[in-house]
Structure 1
Amino acid sequence: MSQPSALQDLVIVDFSRVLAGPLATMVLADLGAEVVKVERPGVGDDTRHWGPPFDERGEATYFQSVNRNKDSVAIDLGTDAGRDEARALIARADVVVENFRPGLMASLGLDYKSLAGDKPELVYCSVTGFGGSGAGAALPGYDLLVQAVGGLMAITGAPDGEPQKAGVALVDVITGLFAAVGILAALRHRERTGEGQLVEVDLLSSLLAALVNQGSAYTLAGAVAGRMGNAHPSIAPYELYPTGDGDLVLAVGNDKQFAALCAVIGLEPDARFATNKERVAHRDALRDVLVQRLAARPAAEWVPALSAARVPAGQVNDVAGAFAFATSLGLDPVVEVPRADGSTARLTRNPINMSATPPAYRTAPPDLPST
């Protein structure tokens, strides 16, 4: 007997491509939703061709990162027959997700306004780069572009270096998660009222919301952050430090942790470092003292000593090391998902744990249907 799922019987028609939309629908698919991915005949999602790297079957690993637990259909939306086929799918769906350029779905008669008259219970999620209307509607929504214009690159990187992007398409990931939350909230509203609604999420607004403390520093205090390398604007010590061999991250968030750090490294009390406020005010002096003390031992020795004293500390892992570290902690970061040909795809597991209706991994990302 199969385990129940949180979103069983929920049907989603997914017209989205690349990352934000597909991530949102995969999260919901992991939780039990039936997701039908609509792709262009012969071409499919753009990320099917984004590589290297490719897996042992020659499939792009990018596409596989956000498309498990989905079925795929190839539909030419530029034809009357294709649009009729799409409407037939939507007729049995609870949710539609799309991230085409604003106005395209309306031109096909597949936008929320066109569909809601016949299906008022429909939840329809549109993901855009800079909003579905207004001056931003015509702008292309690429993650790197949004990281630049949205302020993230201005606060990422060394103070004397060039602005830097994050190492993954972080804005797309954040937007996809906001989209999933919006869809679930709309479904809860529908449970109470029977009414569907339009959910709109854009990359720029998602990034601005994700700036959190850096955003509120500006909105509340007019403080415009700059690049600080690995340092934190409001906490110290909270950055990367050299040691006798290798680099060490310290993430000291309160005075108790700082006292424990001092005990481990043999640092005597100093009025300049008594409170976090004082440590931030004297961060350069504090760094000099810590660098001198940490030079006595390699990072590999400092980490266990500091961790034993409950001081947040660690070395910088590469991606392989990160998965190995999670495995050593019993977090089981990799799942093996069955493919139709009998092989398995090793994918990163959904991070949500649920006692009654946990995520499930039913199928690997689908092959592109033949036309």
Structure 2
Amino acid sequence: MTQTESSSPANQGNPARPKGALDGIRVLDLTQVMSGPFSTMMLGDLGADVIKIEQPGSGDQTRKSWGYAVKGEDSRAFLSLNRNKRSVCLDLKKAEDLQDFYALAATADVVVENFRPGVAKRLAVDYDTLNAVNPRIIYASISGFGQTGPYANYPGYDLIAQAMTGVMSITGEPGGAPVKCGLPVADLGAGLFCTIGILGAVIARGQDGPGQYLETSLFETAVALSVWESTEYWATGEAPVALGSANRMSAPYQAIATKDGYVTIGANNEKLWRNLCQAMDAVHLVHDERFLNNNLRMKHRTELVAVLEPYFAQRSTDDWVELLLAAGVPAGPIRNYAQVLDEDPHVKARGMVASFDHPVEGRLPVLASPIRLQGTPPTIRKAPPLLGADTEEILAEIRVPASRSAGS
């Protein structure tokens, strides 16, 4: 069953649906915006029962104030990160709602939060409190800079994390102004690391063991992803700088201008370098003393690109891609997202665009999970919930009187 098929009304709740890898795992989602919702969405795709705890009347910050609202009040930003979840409205500052939350925690396997450090404790939904309610609880915290350290109370924004970890110093063209990575790598990466930690904790807990606390942060994520940059610094003693599209460990490995655009090439070993020179009809470059090995090509990267550009300017991008791939040289065109999402045959073949039916927005496209599990594949079973849509149902499940209306 594809992710798109599983999102259709005919397949939602279908007993023939493949079992999810996390079927039977209940997750309480106290997160909002991006890093936490991205993590819990992945857990939901894998079959977990994700219950999103939202503030009555407002809900997740991204519902109304971020991105592109089309028909209803919920923005496309919210809809892109909250499928396979149920929404229950609880005001954790109210004693009655807090007791409802504790009753839910007693049934849960995982709690995920991305409050600022200290907020969960002030709300009495911190790990120590919930561990007393349910010793098997796995409690995951995502923050901007971690729960301890001199930056712990700094606001947790992807842009700030990229700036303070060096990411912006190596992004962009050489000598240019600092540029953030186009994708929110600290936010999304923290969500990924959090998910990995949760899965590890679930395995460690097993059937009868205790839960545990885990945390990660945007700051540590951005540092951890700086694998080549830290390697360069420790090897040379010099802070890495921006290289544009070039790679700091091999050359040529970057985008090169063509007759009508750009082509990316990955000639990152000696065989590929020789193949590239042959494909360009420039075999003499193999013997050029500046380019005899990768270290020399990296040292003379500026000269190397200047030598390559006149060759590439003679043909179109498509011609170069065809020629280089035939020569065994990794190559590809630079495409925009309209080309990728609407036209790319490989995106279609791999099913990377799925969809779901939303009660207000109608049928919406969405990025599918890239995880391919043969026996327990990720599925899209539920559209992102309306605010508080599942409050009555969820509180009834734990035998709590549910008199308040959804979203109130």
TM interval, short-chain normalised: over 0.9
CA deviation profile, 1:13-56 (whole Å, cap 9, x unmatched): 00001111111111011000000001111111111124442345
Distance 1:284 1:68, change over 3 A: same
Q: Which of 230, 253, 271 is 1:256 aligned to? A: 271
- SS of 1:205's partner is helix
- The more displaced of 54-63 and 300-309 is 54-63
Amino acid at match of 1:307: L
Q: Mapping of 1:124-273 within 5 angstroms?
A: 124-191=139-206, 194-219=209-234, 221-269=236-284, 270-271=287-288, 272-273=290-291
**1:285 paired to 2:303:** yes
Question: 1:133 Cα deviation (Å)?
Answer: 2.5
Question: 1:244 Cα deviation (Å)?
Answer: 1.8
Structure 2: gaps (5+ residues): 1-15, 389-406
Q: Which of 375, 378, 394 is 1:356 aligned to? A: 375
User: Separation in 1 of the partners of 2:364 and 2:262?
Assistant: 34
CA deviation profile, 1:102-134 (whole Å, cap 9, x unmatched): 111111221001121232111000111111133
**1:334 paired to 2:359:** no
Q: Which of 343, 350, 362 is 2:362 aligned to? A: 343
- The more displaced of 182-191 and 101-110 is 101-110
Amino acid at match of 2:328: R
Question: 1:136 Cα deviation (Å)?
Answer: 2.2
Question: 1:220 Cα deviation (Å)?
Answer: 5.4
2:68 maps to: 53
Question: 1:223 Cα deviation (Å)?
Answer: 3.4
Amino acid at match of 2:212: Q
Distance 1:152 1:119, change over 3 A: same
CA deviation profile, 1:74-102 (whole Å, cap 9, x unmatched): 11111111211211111110000001111
* Matched-pair contact (CA < 8 Å) for 2:106–2:133: no
Question: 1:329 Cα deviation (Å)?
Answer: 6.5
* Matched-pair contact (CA < 8 Å) for 1:157–1:164: yes
**1:85 paired to 2:111:** no
CA deviation profile, 1:159-207 (whole Å, cap 9, x unmatched): 2211001112211000000000000111111007611100111111111
CA deviation profile, 1:280-327 (whole Å, cap 9, x unmatched): 122222112210111111112111111222212122111111223254
CA deviation profile, 1:342-367 (whole Å, cap 9, x unmatched): 93221000000011000011011111
**1:365 paired to 2:380:** no
* Matched-pair contact (CA < 8 Å) for 2:253–2:266: yes
User: Separation in 2 of the partners of 1:170 and 1:164?
Assistant: 13
Q: Which of 289, 292, 300 is 1:274 aligned to? A: 292
User: Separation in 2 of the partners of 1:362 and 1:192?
Assistant: 26
Amino acid at match of 1:313: A
* Matched-pair contact (CA < 8 Å) for 1:28–1:180: yes
Amino acid at match of 1:354: L
**1:321 paired to 2:339:** yes
- The more displaced of 240-249 and 216-225 is 216-225
- SS of 1:314's partner is strand
State the percentage of identical aligned residues.
Answer: 37
User: Separation in 1 of the partners of 2:371 and 2:67?
Assistant: 29
* Matched-pair contact (CA < 8 Å) for 1:21–1:99: yes
1:300 maps to: 318
Question: 1:152 Cα deviation (Å)?
Answer: 0.4
* Matched-pair contact (CA < 8 Å) for 1:156–1:228: yes
Q: Which of 92, 97, 109 is 2:124 aligned to? A: 109
Amino acid at match of 1:359: P
Amino acid at match of 1:315: P
Q: CA RMSD in A?
A: 1.8
CA deviation profile, 1:147-168 (whole Å, cap 9, x unmatched): 1011100000112211001112
Using the size of structure 2 for normalisation, the TM-score is 0.87
